Amino acid sequence: MDPLLHRLPAAFWTVPYVGSRFPGSAEVAALPGLEQGANCQLFAYEVLRHFGLAPPDLRSSELWADTQATVRVSVAQPLDLVLFNATGDAYGAHVGVWADEGRVLHLCAETGRPVVWEPEEFTKRQRYRVLIGLKRVISRTQDAVG
């Protein structure tokens, strides 16, 4: 396991996929955090928060359009957000986190738990075959160090 993923607490690896738990949902507002499960966006954002970043609680297309807390990048670095979809449309896109060694940490319905895939694994699946692009969170939490 690469260094970034090795620093992720064990609790992150057992989060169940729950599609109704997305950023801004009533379920998340009532019970924040990952204990009750998450969709891909909520999971990715909580991973980034663990590492001191402050991603906005946006749905995929809003994230792709955002220019205040994130920027589009062409070369991935660890902790960049990666968006995949069946088409080039960011609406409903799947969100993962770029990890060291060029792999993507993500949570999807297919696996039901967090997994790490090579980018090629996404292209083998119709729903993830198009790489929309990469977003880098530029804001950090107030208490982040460094």
What does the block give as tokens for 136?
């880098």
Q: What integer pLDDT is reported at residue 3 of this predicted model?
A: 81
Residue range(s) defining the domain that contains residue 59:
11-137
Residue 22: inside a domain: yes
**Residue 72: alpha-carbon gap to chain centroid:** 15
What pairing do the DSSP bridges indicate for beta strands 70-73 and 130-137? antiparallel
Instruction: For the chain, 146 residues long, give each residue's pLDDT as a single digit of tens.
Output: 458 889 999 999 999 999 999 999 999 999 999 999 999 999 999 999 999 999 999 999 999 999 999 999 999 999 999 999 999 999 999 999 999 788 999 999 999 999 999 999 999 999 999 999 999 999 876 644 44
Q: What integer pLDDT is reported at residue 142 of this predicted model?
A: 61
Residue 3: inside a domain: no
Residue 45: inside a domain: yes
What pairing do the DSSP bridges indicate for beta strands 130-137 and 94-98? unpaired
Q: What integer pLDDT is reported at residue 145 of this predicted model?
A: 43
Number of structural domains found in the chain: 1
Q: What integer pLDDT is reported at residue 2 of this predicted model?
A: 58
Is residue 134 within 8 Å of residue 82, measured between CB atoms? yes
CATH number, domain at 102? 3.90.1720.10
Radius of gyration of the chain (CA): 14
**Residue 6: alpha-carbon gap to chain centroid:** 17
